[in-house]
Structure 1
Amino acid sequence: MINKRNDVFQRIHRPLPIAKPPFYSIRLQGWTLCSFAGLAVNGNLEVIKPSGKPVKNLYAVGEVIGAGTTSGNAYVNGMMVTPAITFGRLLGEQILPLS
């Protein structure tokens, strides 16, 4: 059903009909590359030196802090998305007053 409320949540789906040639396709395959290693950060998301002291004005979130920081010893596909978004927001809120 096009442009109709057709599910139990009454969402409107608006698919476009495939009507006008020429038509093209590609073969696509996704894959994931993940590393458990990454930059060490403290609770303020500041990059820390091996001594444990923070590097001034250097922060890190997302994939560069490594999956081991947020996932422990196991990795589940998609597990880096939520920490990247959450830590990014937290870091933004933390450093915005500094500017």
Structure 2
Amino acid sequence: MGSSESARKSSGVFQDVINSIFEPGVNHGVLVVMNCAFIGLFLILFYLLVATGFNLHVCALTAIAVLLFASIQWFIRELASSKVLAKKSPASSRPSSSHKKKKL
């Protein structure tokens, strides 16, 4: 095991985020940073809810943030499950390249 391989495996969360710029898809570091950002958002919105006496606008913003977080988490899980299915059957998931357009 070379030193570059061990450095690549032991890279931190922020190094994963930087590396994700050059890779397709989302890696673990990006997910961790995104979830931490949402936790910060939820803490601030909870504080605003208490400070404003449960203002209707802040309640609406909180609901929007929760729904956004839930939809992103759902999309990431669906993307991961589609990758697992694609690895199990790579031939059936790719469209056939032998299709030719019919001339009318």
Greater strand fraction, Structure 1 or Structure 2: 1
Report the TM-score, using the length of structure 1 for normalisation. Answer: 0.28
Question: Relative contact order (C-alpha < 8 Å, sep 6+): which is higher?
Answer: 1
Q: Which has the higher helix share?
A: 2
